[in-house]
A and B are shown apart, each in its own frame.
Chain A
Amino acid sequence: MGPLIPNGVITGDWDFVIALLIGIAFGFILEASGFSSSRNIAGVFYGYNFVVLRVFFTAVIVAMTGLLFFDYFGWIELDKIFILPTYLTPMIVGSIIMGFGFLLGGFCPGTSYTAIAIGKLDGIVFTIGLFLGIFLFSETFPLFKDFYYSGFLGNVTLTDVTGIPAAWFAFAFTVIALASFWFTMIIEKHIRKKITEYKF
């Protein structure tokens, strides 16, 4: 039956209403989890607040496992969903650049919108930066065009690349996530004792 819109169960007219509602739920979860604060987010890299790791890993393992069950029960045709294409080298370089952006800015795009919503000037400035960055990228795109399209492997999944069934990846991610929840809980407790500049 699913995905509903690609299979024509829901018509395209509802697209933007659904987009707005899904966005509201997304923004609510991000803000309520504490992602409207850059210092909460940056904490994951210094060990004083692992909220990013907890929310992110939980979401990934719930979504992975859930989608496999939806497929198993025949509720969704997984071969009809969009698989993000892999352009290996540009994606690695892009992620390194984003890593620097993350440590300097303390936000990622989605979280910066929720920071704006509650009145954070640093969130507004970060979003202006996003705009300028994408503008700069687009204007200089002809210089990077070949690199941008390099390393193309197709819209491949982990299974396509390794031959290992998706369920094994979901299981491995779950084990890694659970171990990291336990491990980071201990680190966080230890580091918080030494930090006084941050309200928990």
Chain B
Amino acid sequence: MKNINSNKNRPHYINPYFGGVLLGLLVILTVYITGRGLGASGAVKSAVVTTADAIVPIHAHTNPYYSKFISSDKSPMYNWLVFESLGIFFGGLLSGVIFRRVKKIRVERSPKITNKTRLTAALIGGILFGIGSQFGRGCSSGAALSGSATFSFGGVIVMLVLFGTGYAIAGLFKKLWI
């Protein structure tokens, strides 16, 4: 347990305000070029729609949600957010290689919980985030960040309620993190 707070194994991150300025400039550039902001959950939605359409096409075409995103001429994977999200993966990989954080498959967790607890919580967390992002018309990237940055009323609501809920319920999940 000794030296757990030492700087020896401290990961190297860029200054958060510098990161924020870069991210803000990227939002401006993205809006300037495409007329809309960044996103992330939309790519998984495209993957779900594509899977449903490939396995049970009749069901996908009659379901009122899938059918919103199916067109006859091209796959739902042929979508701006799918390519952008592929980019997020490769950009993360590039940064990970540069800052030497790409390592073998591992689980990050609080020392107070087991890997199994962490992975169960991550799975449930993902499921809830997936459901919530559909009602929210986007996640932290599309609704909270890009929505707020373009002065969307709904975007600001998502930002405030998402983080507000986080603070309200943080006490319940403390053991998962510290």
Residues on A facing B (Cβ under 8 Å): 2-6, 10, 15-16, 18-34, 36-39, 42-46, 48, 50-51, 54-64, 66-67, 70, 75-76, 80-88, 90-110, 112-123, 125-139, 141-142, 144-145, 148, 153, 155-161, 166, 169, 181, 195-200
Contact A87 B137 (CB under 8 A): yes
Contact B152 A130 (CB under 8 A): no
Q: Knowing that A36-B101, A197-B178 are A-B contacts, what are 13 other residue pairs whose CB atoms are under 8 Å apart, sorted by A's residue number?
A: A3-B35, A19-B80, A31-B99, A33-B23, A60-B24, A91-B137, A93-B132, A104-B173, A105-B125, A120-B105, A132-B123, A134-B133, A199-B10
- Interface CB pairs A-B, < 8 A, 29: A10-B33, A23-B84, A23-B91, A27-B91, A45-B166, A62-B20, A64-B149, A80-B35, A92-B161, A94-B137, A97-B135, A104-B173, A108-B141, A109-B140, A110-B85, A120-B106, A121-B106, A127-B126, A129-B124, A129-B128, A130-B129, A134-B131, A137-B131, A137-B134, A138-B65, A138-B134, A141-B64, A159-B151, A197-B111
Contacts known (A118-B96, A120-B108); A105 close to B121, Cβ less than 8 A: yes
Q: Tally of A-B residue pairs with Cβ under 8 A?
A: 530
Closest to B94 in A: A28
Closest to B81 in A: A19
Distance A57 CA – B27 CA, assembled complex (angstroms):
13
Distance A106 CA – B113 CA, assembled complex (angstroms):
14
Contact A197 B17 (CB under 8 A): no
The majority secondary structure among interface residues of chain B is: helix
B93, B98, B118, B158: the one contacting A95 at CB < 8 Å is: B158
Closest to B157 in A: A91
**Size bracket, chain B contacts:** 35 or more
Contact B87 A60 (CB under 8 A): no
Contacts known (A83-B150, A98-B133); A119 close to B106, Cβ less than 8 A: yes
Contact B143 A84 (CB under 8 A): yes
Contact A157 B153 (CB under 8 A): yes
Distance A54 CA – B130 CA, assembled complex (angstroms):
25
Closest to A36 in B: B92
Contact A26 B26 (CB under 8 A): yes
Residues on B facing A (Cβ under 8 Å): 1, 4-5, 9-11, 13-14, 16-17, 19-38, 40-41, 43-45, 47-49, 51-52, 63-66, 80-81, 83-96, 98-99, 101-112, 118-119, 121-159, 161-170, 172-174, 176-178
Kindly list chain A residues whose C-beta atoms are within 8 Å of the C-beta of B83.
Answer: 15-16, 19-20, 23
The distance from the CB of A194 to the nearest CB of chain B, in whole angstroms, is: 10
Contact B147 A130 (CB under 8 A): no
Distance A72 CA – B98 CA, assembled complex (angstroms):
38
Contact A103 B172 (CB under 8 A): yes
Kindly list chain A residues whose C-beta atoms are within 8 Å of the C-beta of B9.
Answer: 199
Contact B165 A95 (CB under 8 A): yes
Kindly list chain B residues whose C-beta atoms are within 8 Å of the C-beta of A120.
Answer: 105-108
